[in-house]
C-alpha cells in the first residue's frame, strides 16, 4: 500500500539511494578491520570535498537525491573510463611505437586519460541534471560537476588505496582527489554560465572541457614523466594554482546567485 503513494520518480531515487548503501555495507562486511580503515581513508577526501562544495552553495541548496545520483554516476564512470582508456591506450601505443616515448606519454596523459575522463564527467552532468529544474543558478554547475567528479575520484581512489596502502591514501588525499575537484570546478563554472546563456553554449562547453583536459593532462604528465625529475614539482604548482582559481570561480558564481 505504501508504494502506491510514491511517484515513479521518488521510487527511482529511493532505489538508487538504497542500492548504494547495500553495495557499501556488503563490501565492508567481507573486510578485515585494517581493510575497513583503508576503505574509510579512501572515501574520506571525496566525501569531505562533496560536503564542502555543498556548504559553499550558500543561497539555494540542491536536493540531496540529485547529489547522490550525481556522485553515483561519477563512480560508475570509472568502469567506462577504464575500458575506454585500455582501448585508446593500445591504439596510442601502436601509433607511437616508432616515436620517442615522450610522444606516447603526452598522448596518454592528455587524450587517453585526460580527455576520456573529463568528457565522461561532462556527459554525465549534461545528460542527467543540466536541463533539470533543480539546476536554477550558475553555482549549480559547479556543485553538480564536483559531485560527479568526487564520485569518480572516490571510486578510483578506493582501487588505488586498497592496493597501495596508507601511504598511497595519504598522498592522494592531498593531490589526486582534490585535483579532480579542482578540474570539476573549472568545468562546472562554464556549465553554470552555459545553462543561462544558450546562445553561446558550444563555445562555453568547449572552454570548460578544454581547460579541464589541459589541467588533467598536464598534471598527469608532470607526475608520470621520468625525463626531468624537477618537472614533478610543477604538478604541485599546478595544484596550488588550481586551488586558488577554483576558489575564485566559486566566489564569482556565489555573487551571481539570483537567490542572494
pLDDT in tens, the chain (260 residues): 444 444 445 555 555 566 566 656 666 677 777 888 898 899 999 999 999 999 999 888 998 889 989 999 999 999 999 999 999 999 888 888 878 788 889 999 999 999 999 999 999 999 999 999 999 999 999 999 999 999 999 999 999 999 999 999 999 999 999 999 999 999 999 999 999 988 889 999 999 999 999 999 999 999 887 777 777 788 889 999 999 999 999 999 999 888 87
Q: Which residues contact 134 (CB under 8 A, 6 or more apart)?
A: 62, 63, 66, 140
Q: Which residues contact 185 (CB under 8 A, 6 or more apart)?
A: 53, 142, 145, 146, 245, 246, 249, 250
Domain residues for the domain of 167 are 43-254
Domain annotation covers residue 92: yes
Domain annotation covers residue 5: no
pLDDT at 232: 76
Helices (H), 108-227: 116-128, 139-164, 166-174, 176-196, 201-224
Taking the C-alpha atoms of residue 231 and residue 204, their distance in angstroms, rounded to an integer, is 31
Domain annotation covers residue 223: yes
Domain annotation covers residue 259: no
Radius of gyration of the chain (CA): 19
pLDDT at 15: 56
Domain annotation covers residue 95: yes
Domain annotation covers residue 49: yes
Main-chain phi, psi angles of 31, to 5 degrees: -100, 160
pLDDT at 174: 93
Main-chain phi, psi angles of 129, to 5 degrees: -115, -15
Taking each helix axis from N to C end, the angle separating 64-95 and 8-29, rounded to the nearest 10 degrees, works out to 60
pLDDT at 216: 96
pLDDT at 240: 92
pLDDT at 19: 57
Contact 191, 141 (CB under 8 A): yes
Please count the structural domains in the chain.
1
Q: Which residues contact 81 (CB under 8 A, 6 or more apart)?
A: 116, 117, 120, 152
Handedness of CA 187, 245, 157, 72 (dihedral sign): negative
Domain annotation covers residue 37: no
Domain annotation covers residue 31: no
Q: Which residues contact 207 (CB under 8 A, 6 or more apart)?
A: 190
Amino acid at each position: 500500500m505504501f508504494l502506491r503513494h510514491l511517484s515513479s520518480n521518488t521510487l527511482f531515487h529511493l532505489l538508487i539511494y538504497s542500492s548504494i548503501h547495500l553495495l557499501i555495507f556488503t563490501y565492508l562486511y567481507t573486510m578485515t578491520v585494517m581493510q575497513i580503515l583503508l576503505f574509510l581513508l579512501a572515501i574520506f577526501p571525496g566525501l569531505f570535498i562533496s560536503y564542502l562544495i555543498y556548504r559553499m552553495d550558500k543561497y539555494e541548496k540542491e536536493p540531496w537525491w540529485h547529489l547522490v545520483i550525481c556522485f553515483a554516476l561519477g563512480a560508475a564512470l570509472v568502469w567506462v573510463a577504464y575500458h575506454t582508456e585500455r582501448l585508446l591506450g593500445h591504439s596510442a601505443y601502436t601509433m607511437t611505437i616508432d616515436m620517442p616515448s615522450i610522444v606516447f606519454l603526452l598522448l596518454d596523459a592528455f587524450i587517453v586519460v585526460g580527455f576520456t575522463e573529463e568528457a565522461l564527467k561532462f556527459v554525465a552532468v549534461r545528460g542527467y541534471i543540466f536541463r533539470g529544474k533543480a539546476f536554477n543558478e550558475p553555482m549549480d554547475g559547479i556543485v553538480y560537476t564536483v559531485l560527479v567528479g568526487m564520485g569518480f575520484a572516490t571510486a578510483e581512489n578506493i582501487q588505488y588505496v586498497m592496493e597501495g596502502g596508507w601511504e598511497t591514501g595519504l598522498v592522494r588525499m592531498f593531490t589526486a582527489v582534490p585535483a579532480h575537484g579542482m578540474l570539476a570546478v573549472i568545468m562546472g563554472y562554464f556549465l553554470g554560465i552555459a545553462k543561462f546563456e544558450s546562445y553561446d553554449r558550444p563555445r562555453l562547453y568547449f572552454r570548460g572541457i578544454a581547460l579541464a583536459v589541459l589541467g588533467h593532462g598536464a598534471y598527469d604528465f608532470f607526475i608520470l614523466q621520468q625525463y626531468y625529475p624537477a618537472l614533478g614539482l610543477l604538478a604541485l604548482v599546478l595544484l596550488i594554482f588550481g586551488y586558488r582559481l577554483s576558489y575564485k570561480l566559486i566566489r564569482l558564481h556565489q555573487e551571481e546567485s539570483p537567490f542572494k
